[in-house]
């Protein structure tokens, strides 16, 4: 490795943004934002595009000496992926549905067959063909009509998550003239095969807020409005009951949820609330015969499962316990069949799955090989079956798909993801630690490393990942890309910090709104403890997070910059106060229950205390790689753009600060299966190069 690259960033001129003071005053407090001008909702301002291109050119120049390393990493990561692959078929109606990828194709082909083994296989969609001539292409979930002859799907060619719905006749292969624009991509068919329901998005805020029924062969302008959400803090989504009798409209905000139901057999049906909406009450429903099962936080902070007769809707006093609330046990999910109830709980951060026979109430817990793992139900479209489809993975176990016989709990492995090359799971070790935070709370940490390269003497480089928002729990799971780090001696750690639900709903509540600082404290305290316990070298610590995890990266860069050699912030949410004060920005109003509403002084002052952009200071920062997508719909491109400009202005070090914008992609990054691997290769090369420089000194 060329040791002369240490100060390469100093030798090249980083883009310096102009400053145009923009004054914002609220609660008798005035902030001046010199980079507010970088916002252009049309993404067309030549000066802004030129600055982003200059940042990209600077990143490319600084990283030019790592091009061979990046290519090596890309080939390594790609080389572990099976080129010709297929998903496990899922039975729905009379067919088995799956997707296939072949060769160097970036996208999948959607197919269906008469049986699990692929008899009479027919292609539904070749997404490679559809994606031609598009830099970005994404298809929303496919929706099959009740007679199984029509396929409706949504297409996004910009990466703003705004979909145009198209309808294909699977008998003739022809497309219908119907094209529905400006939607969320969700589709639910009416049972007469003549109409479907969809969600219209607000073009400014990007919130799905209207449910329409579209009659085939008619103009979109004539579609029937079924429901309109008037509260901008709520998302709207749709789906169907497992027996296909009902269309569900899901109404969801951060702390409240509700359901409306539509008779899928009635072409003139209206939406009926399952229960009148109550602030703070969360529930979801499933139908089994003439009963509804209700997963709810009603008098149960960690949720319970209840049921109610179909003729007793609208009254919570009629709800009866199926699974009563348990102290310290989070009820996360369940799956219903004619004869069985399967439910998933989390206790002390660990997943437990239990099978209950409905006629006898006899129960048994399913057993897994790993203590800590990721497992979830999927593809269970049938009620009249004794098979449960389940996904399973751990830090050392590649993605595995099982059918479980509910009569005897027998596991049948349908497929385990093949990892090409010399991968052997026995070469890797995972661990689970409980690390005390500064207030005494124990934070779960998942670790994995390559056995013969791990010394536990404080010499290994450490890659620490975190998220910690929205109650989203990052369970330990396998990544073949990650092997490129582990095989170079990295220890990989996931800090299950507050703001997630790893330890139940209270763990989430203790890391949001006016307790958000706990999220950052937990991550920092985990870093310190891992160094103290010998899992990582104190000068070789790298931190990574994306979106709300990018907020975490911005906070730790301000609050504990000395702990980290390098930080990668992916599509980071960093301008918290300004964004949350602007209701025109997508998602803002929906997020008040997560961050608070800064129009209220208490929340304004608290947000201001940690918002990464507002707290950039005149001090040293770690080496930083910041990435975003120009068309990101979740975190607008101008947040990281402004943040990087302010960091360049304020920071007192000569460490690298690189900002890479994908001029085509959005929040999820690149759309192709191999194209996205270049993003991993860039990040890994950024860290490995820093490591090589340290070790060459």
DSSP, residue by residue, 301-344: TT-EEEEEEGGGTT-GGG-EEEE--BTTEEEEEEEE-SSEEEEE
pLDDT at 233: 87
Q: pLDDT at position 634, please? A: 73
- pLDDT of 455: 95
Distance CA 304, CA 252 (A): 18
Structure tokens, 552: 């975490």
Active site residue 98: no
Closest CA to 568 of 530, 625, 517, 619: 625
Residue 656 within a domain: yes
| Residue 627 is assigned to a structural domain of this protein | yes
Per-residue confidence (pLDDT) for residue 206, from 0 to 100: 86
Nearest of 541, 520, 526, 543 to residue 625 by alpha carbon: 543
In a domain, 154, yes or no: no
Please report whether residue 89 resides in a domain: no
pLDDT at 503: 98
Angle among Cα 480, 483, 486 to the nearest 5 degrees reads 155
Angle between the 638-650 and 46-62 helix axes, to the nearest 10 degrees? 60
Q: Which of 475, 525, 632, 662 is catalytic?
A: 632
Kindly state whether residue 368 falls inside one of the protein's structural domains: no
- Burial (0-12, 13-18, 19+ Cβ within 10 Å), 444: buried
pLDDT given for residue 635 in this prediction: 79
Is 620 annotated as catalytic?
Answer: no
Q: Are 312 and 319 in contact (CB under 8 A)?
A: no
**Residue that has been written with the tokens 């930080």 in this structure:** 567
Q: What is the pLDDT of residue 204?
A: 83
Give the separation between CA 392 and CA 351, rounded to whole angstroms. 11
The DSSP output letter for 223 is P
Q: Is 651 helix (H, G, I), strand (E, B) or coil?
A: coil
Report if residue 590 sits inside a domain.
yes
Structure tokens at 65: 């000496």
DSSP string, 333-397: EEEE-SSEEEEEEEETTEEEEEEEETTT--EEE---S-SS-EEEE-----SS-SEEEEEEE-SSS
Distance CA 549, CA 569 (A): 8
Q: For residues 375 and 355, what is the distance between their CA atoms, to the nearest angstrom?
A: 14
Please pick, among 667, 671, 680, 689, the residue that the annotation labels catalytic: 667
- 250-267 as b/e: b if 16+ CB within 10 A: bbbbbbbbbbbbbbbeee
Residue 293: which H helix or E strand, with range? strand 291-296
Q: Which of 127, 93, 86, 95 is nearest to 109 (CA)?
A: 127
pLDDT tens for each residue of 150-172: 999 999 998 888 999 999 999 99
Number of structural domains found in the chain? 1
Q: What is the pLDDT of residues 304-340, one digit of tens each?
A: 999 999 999 989 999 999 999 999 999 999 999 999 9
Return d(Cα 576, Cα 613) in angstroms, integer: 8
- Asked if 353 contacts 344 with a C-beta cutoff of 8 angstroms, the reply is yes
Any catalytic annotation for residue 667? Answer: yes
Residue 42 maps to a domain: yes
Q: Residue 632 sits in a domain of what CATH number?
A: 3.40.50.1820
Q: Which of 481, 547, 611, 633 is catalytic?
A: 547
User: Residue 66 contacts by C-beta under 8 Å, 6 or more apart in sequence?
Assistant: 685, 686, 689
Residues (pLDDT < 70) of the chain are 1-11, 633, 665-671
Q: What is the pLDDT of residues 375-429, one digit of tens each?
A: 999 999 999 999 999 999 999 999 999 999 999 999 999 999 999 999 999 999 9
Q: Under DSSP, is residue 529 helix (H, G, I), strand (E, B) or coil?
A: helix
Rounded (10°) CA dihedral 334, 336, 337, 338 = 140
Q: What is the pLDDT of residue 665?
A: 57
What pLDDT is stored for residue 1 in this prediction?
35
Instruction: Report the alpha-carbon distance of residue 584 to residue 460 in Å, rounded.
Output: 46
Helices (H) and strands (E) in the chain, counts: 13, 39
Which of 402, 401, 324, 308 minimizes the C-alpha distance to 356? Answer: 324
Contact 99, 89 (CB under 8 A): no
Judge whether 422 lies within some domain.
Answer: no
pLDDT value, residue 408: 97
Say what the pTM is: 0.91
Burial bucket for residue 221 (CB in 10 Å: 0-12, 13-18, 19+): exposed
């Amino acid at each position: 490795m060329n040791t002369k690259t240490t100060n390469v960033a100093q030798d090249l001129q980083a883009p310096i943004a102009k400053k145009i003071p923009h004054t914002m005053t609220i609660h008798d407090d005035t902030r001046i934002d010199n980079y507010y001008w970088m916002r252009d909702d049309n993404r067309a301002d030549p000066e802004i595009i030129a600055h982003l291109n200059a940042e990209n050119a600077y990143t490319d120049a600084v990283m030019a000496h790592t091009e061979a390393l990046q290519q090596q990493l890309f080939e390594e990561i790609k080389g572990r992926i099976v080129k010709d692959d297929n998903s496990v078929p899922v039975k729905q109606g009379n067919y088995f549905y799956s997707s296939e990828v072949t060769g160097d194709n970036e996208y999948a082909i959607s197919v269906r067959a008469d049986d699990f083994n692929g008899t009479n296989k027919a292609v539904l969609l070749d997404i490679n063909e559809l994606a031609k001539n598009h830099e970005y292409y994404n298809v929303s979930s496919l929706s099959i009509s009740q007679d199984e002859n029509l396929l409706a799907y949504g297409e996004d060619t910009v990466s703003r998550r705004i979909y145009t719905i198209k309808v294909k006749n699977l008998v003739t292969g022809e497309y219908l003239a119907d094209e529905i624009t400006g939607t969320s991509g969700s589709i639910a068919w009416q049972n007469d095969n003549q109409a479907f329901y969809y969600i219209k998005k607000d073009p400014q805020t990007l919130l799905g807020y209207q449910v329409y029924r579209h009659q085939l062969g008619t103009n979109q302008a004539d579609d029937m409005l079924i429901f309109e959400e008037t509260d901008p803090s709520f998302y709207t989504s749709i789906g169907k009951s497992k027996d296909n009798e009902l269309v569900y409209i899901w109404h969801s905000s951060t702390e409240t949820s509700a359901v409306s139901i539509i008779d899928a057999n009635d072409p003139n049906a209206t939406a009926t609330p399952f229960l009148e909406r109550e602030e703070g009450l969360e529930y979801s429903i499933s139908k089994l015969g003439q009963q509804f099962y209700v997963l709810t936080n009603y008098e149960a902070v960690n949720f319970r499962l209840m049921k109610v007769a179909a003729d007793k809707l609208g009254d919570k006093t009629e709800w009866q316990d199926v699974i009563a609330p348990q102290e310290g046990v989070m009820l996360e999910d369940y799956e219903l069949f004619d004869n069985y109830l399967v439910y998933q709980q989390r206790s002390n951060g660990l997943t437990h799955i239990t099978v209950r026979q409905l006629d006898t109430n006899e129960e048994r817990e399913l057993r897994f090989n790993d203590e800590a793992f990721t497992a979830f139900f999927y593809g269970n479209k049938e009620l009249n079956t004794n098979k449960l489809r389940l996904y399973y993975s751990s830090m050392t176990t590649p993605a595995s798909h099982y059918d479980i016989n509910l009569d005897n709990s027998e596991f049948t492995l349908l497929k385990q993801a093949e990892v090409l090359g010399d991968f052997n799971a026995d070469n890797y070790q995972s661990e689970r630690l409980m690390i005390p935070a500064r207030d005494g709370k124990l934070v779960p940490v998942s670790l994995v490393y390559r056995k013969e390269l791990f010394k536990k003497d404080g010499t290994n480089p450490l890659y620490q990942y975190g998220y910690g928002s929205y109650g989203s729990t990052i369970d330990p799971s396998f990544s073949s890309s990650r092997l490129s780090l582990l095989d170079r001696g990295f220890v990989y750690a996931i800090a299950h910090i507050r703001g997630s639900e790893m330890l139940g709903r209270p763990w989430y509540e203790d890391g949001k709104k006016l307790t958000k600082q706990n999220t950052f404290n937990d991550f920092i305290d985990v870093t310190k403890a891992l160094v103290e316990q010998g899992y990582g070298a104190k000068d070789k610590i790298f931190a990574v997070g994306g979106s709300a995890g990018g907020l975490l990266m911005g906070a730790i860069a301000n609050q504990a910059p000395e702990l980290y050699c390098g930080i990668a912030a992916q599509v980071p949410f960093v301008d918290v106060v300004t964004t949350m004060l602007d209701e025109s920005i997508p998602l803002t109003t929906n997020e008040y229950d997560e961050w608070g509403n800064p129009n209220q002084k208490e929340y304004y002052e608290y947000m201001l205390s940690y918002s990464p952009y507002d707290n950039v200071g005149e001090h040293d920062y770690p080496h930083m790689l910041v990435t975003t997508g120009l068309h990101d719909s979740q975190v607008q491109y101008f947040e990281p753009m402004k943040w990087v400009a302010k960091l360049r202005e304020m920071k007192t070090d000569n460490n690298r600060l690189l900002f890479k914008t994908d001029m085509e992609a959005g929040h999820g990054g690149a759309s192709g299966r191999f194209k996205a691997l270049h993003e991993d290769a860039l990040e890994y090369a950024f860290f490995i190069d820093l490591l090589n420089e340290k070790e060459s000194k």
